[in-house]
Amino acid sequence: MKGNLTLDAHATVGKVDPRLSGSFIEHVGRAVYHGIYQPDHPSADADGFRQDVIDLVKHLQVPIIRYPGGNFVSGFNWEDSVGPKDQRPRRLDLAWRSVETNQFGLHEFEAWAKKVNADTMMAVNLGTRGIDAARNLIEYTNFPRGTYYSDLRRQNGADQPFNIKTWCLGNEMDGPWQIGHKDATDYGKLANETSKALKWVDSSIETVACGSSALDMPTFGQWENTVLNIAYDNVDYLSLHRYYGNRDDDTPNYLAQNLDFDDFISGVVAMCDAIKARRHNKKQINLSMDEWNVWYHSNQQDDETAPWQEHPHLLEDIYNFEDAILVGSLLITLLKHADRVKIACLAQLVNVIAPIMTDDNGKAWAQSIFYPFMQASTMGRGTVLTPNTSAETYSTKEFHTVSYLDSIGVLNDAGNQVTVFAVNKSLDTPMQLHVDAGTFDFKQVTGATQFAGYAPKQTAQDAAMHIAPNTKYTLDATGLTIELPPLSWNTVQIAV
Ligand code: AHR
């Protein structure tokens, strides 16, 4: 099978915002406790943070991490999580029907995020709480000193403000499962007023209003329209959330879900721009895909989990190889929309629908999805080149025309290297991908890798998976030709 990607230095999508490689830590299951924080673990540092997990997180180079939820945040009192640990209350977390001990809180998260070189994307509770708690929180985190909450922060050990720059105005407020769920008008007003108050405390921040929590929400479209009509002038981003699963074991259809992801993004961009046009507004609203991933393997087990435990095993999807290939295609889709999607958070980071797991024997390990995410994060920085691709197509029960090839190129900031990412979706046929140099002068291949050779259902739980070098390429005056194995995620780096 043949595929083609033509590059053109003058046709670009836009610059990649590094926050496209963000992730997410929520107080749910074992993400925090027995995930990133476990004082009695042999690798724990003086703060109780697991060094083995920190090392794996650092491989992913996540520049921003959303915290502390998720559904959790809609019932969370941030004040419970600061101050002396022995005085912090144990609370019922209604979102996940668990017990929250608050032994890991705001200061601990800030210290941990610093160790993994990530900024915080802070979510405020617009479920059970509102403007007052949010403005107090930002006074606590961002105001230097000399007021009640800023001095409380200093008293609690942080003399310098945390200076958190990206703020989520609640979480999935369109969902009936959300504590304090609201209709679009009520949410729009609350988000608008909360954003104003947050920015009055610190005008340098940016805020994210909740969009739809899935493309198939019955309120999709209406919700975006109503919320943005109310809050357009005072918010900076609109959020999208999207999870996928191969529930009926139809792999070709599953691997085509990036088309749904693409439609979702394009649809929300169109809605933002329609409102912009109608209002004759110069300001553009960009997107924050602040939860995305595969999520379905653990659903049944979660239904059977007894409630009101501390850090129960919840949402512990064990990912297989086909999941990693879909994640690769979703990453390419995000890059394709780098002009409008400025923030994206792989949900989540550790133990909970995560690329990194810890097991009950104390071992930390990388899941299959770790590998494409790591490569897109570390190599996909710079300017995205307009993806001009062609390849054979197939159809599935949900999609009429699915290309076997997903591919995109990113030019680094120095302008001397193009990285090509490519997925071959065929389950049995290799693809000869020709990367047409277009206006570039391809000097040499500086690296080529493949993530391939695993059965679709193979996981990394028992034996680690590996990215291997790909040597099956040739370079000539017209460009590069490289063989992409069946069912594979691939990268090529070319000096230009
Ligand atoms: O990431 C898991 C959950 O998915 C989040 O808490 C919620 O926002 C979404 O429904």
Q: Write out pLDDT tens, residues 90-102.
A: 999 999 999 999 9
Contact 389, 5 (CB under 8 A): yes
What is the mean pLDDT of the segment spanning 126-141? Answer: 98
Task: Check if 291 has its Cβ closer than 6 Å to any atom of ligand 1.
Answer: yes
Map residue 15 onto helix, strand or coil: strand
> What's the gap in Å between 358 CA and the centre of ligand 1?
20
Q: Which two tokens stand for residue 249?
A: 């074991």
Task: Check if 348 has its Cβ closer than 6 Å to any atom of ligand 1.
Answer: yes
User: What contacts 376, CB < 8 A, 6 or more positions away?
Assistant: 21, 328, 331, 332, 335, 421
Check whether 470 has a pLDDT greater than 90.
yes
**How does residue 411 score in pLDDT terms, banded at 50, 70 and 90?**
very high
Across the beta sheet with 468-469, the strand order is: 12-15, 383-385, 405-411, 417-424, 488-495, 444-451, 468-469
Residue 7's pLDDT is what? Answer: 96
Check whether 344 has a pLDDT greater than 90.
yes
Residue 338's pLDDT is what? Answer: 98
N-term to C-term CA, the chain: 27
Determine whether 291 is an active site residue: yes
2, HSE (Cβ side, Cα atoms, 13 Å):
6
Residue closest via CA to ligand 1's atom 7 equals: 70
Contact 70, 123 (CB under 8 A): yes
Query: Alpha carbon of 469 to those of 195, 474, 489: distances in Å?
Result: 48, 14, 12
Task: Check if 351 has its Cβ closer than 6 Å to any atom of ligand 1.
Answer: no
Give the number of residues written for the chain: 496
Rounded-to-integer distance, Cα 299 and Cα 295, Å:
8
Bridge partner residues of 407 (DSSP): 422
What is the mean pLDDT of the segment spanning 416-435? Answer: 98
> What's the gap in Å between 283 CA and the centre of ligand 1?
29
Task: Check if 178 has its Cβ closer than 6 Å to any atom of ligand 1.
Answer: no
Q: Which two tokens stand for residue 368?
A: 């299959």
Nearest to 30 by CA among 310, 288, 267: 310
Beta strands 405-411 and 417-424 are antiparallel
Residue 169's pLDDT is what? Answer: 98
Residue 477's pLDDT is what? Answer: 83
**How does residue 310 score in pLDDT terms, banded at 50, 70 and 90?**
very high
What is the mean pLDDT of the segment spanning 250-254? Answer: 98
Other C-beta atoms lying within 10 Å of the C-beta of residue 430: 15
What is the mean pLDDT of the segment spanning 47-60? Answer: 98
> What's the gap in Å between 98 CA and the centre of ligand 1?
15
Question: What tens digit of pLDDT does each residue of 374-388 get?
Answer: 999 999 999 999 999
Question: What tens digit of pLDDT does each residue of 174-195 get?
Answer: 999 999 999 999 999 999 999 9
Residue 305's pLDDT is what? Answer: 96
Bridge partner residues of 294 (DSSP): 244
> What's the gap in Å between 74 CA and the centre of ligand 1?
11
Cite the DSSP H helix spans in 232-313: 251-255, 258-278, 299-303
Percent residues over pLDDT 70 in the chain? 100
Residue 182's pLDDT is what? Answer: 97
Residue 2's pLDDT is what? Answer: 98
Residue 278's pLDDT is what? Answer: 95
Query: Does residue 19 come out as left (phi exceeding 0), alpha (psi in the -120 to 50 range) or beta?
Result: alpha
Q: Which of 100, 172, 206, 224 is catalytic?
A: 172
- Rounded to two decimals, the pTM is 0.97
| Position in ligand 1 atom list of the atom nearest CA 177 | 10
Question: What tens digit of pLDDT does each residue of 203-217 get?
Answer: 999 999 999 999 999
DSSP state of 386: P
Residue closest via CA to ligand 1's atom 8 equals: 70
Residue 137's pLDDT is what? Answer: 98
Query: Alpha carbon of 153 to those of 138, 169, 179, 203, 212: distances in Å?
Result: 11, 22, 28, 20, 34
Alpha carbon dihedral 374, 491, 328, 435, in 10-degree steps, equals: 150
Beta strands 309-310 and 98-100 are parallel
Question: What tens digit of pLDDT does each residue of 148-160 get?
Answer: 999 999 999 999 9
Mutation test of ligand 1: which of 243, 291, 298 has the most ligand atoms closer than 8 Å to its C-beta? 291
What is the mean pLDDT of the segment spanning 3-15? Answer: 96
**How does residue 128 score in pLDDT terms, banded at 50, 70 and 90?**
very high
The enclosing H or E element of 197 equals helix 184-201
Residue 462's pLDDT is what? Answer: 84
Nearest to 421 by CA among 250, 242, 258: 258
Residue closest via CA to ligand 1's atom 6 equals: 70
What is the mean pLDDT of the segment spanning 460-483? Answer: 95
Rounded-to-integer distance, Cα 35 and Cα 31, Å:
5
Contact 49, 364 (CB under 8 A): no
Map residue 128 onto helix, strand or coil: coil
Alpha carbon dihedral 394, 399, 403, 405, in 10-degree steps, equals: -120
Determine whether 172 is an active site residue: yes
Cite the DSSP H helix spans in 116-183: 131-142, 148-155
What is the mean pLDDT of the segment spanning 53-74? Answer: 98
Chain mean pLDDT for the chain: 97
Rounded-to-integer distance, Cα 213 and Cα 173, Å:
8
Task: Check if 171 has its Cβ closer than 6 Å to any atom of ligand 1.
Answer: yes
Q: Which two tokens stand for residue 51?
A: 């060094």
> What's the gap in Å between 70 CA and the centre of ligand 1?
5
Task: Kindly tell me the sign of the dihedral angle through the C-alpha atoms of 345, 295, 380, 383.
Answer: negative
| Position in ligand 1 atom list of the atom nearest CA 96 | 6
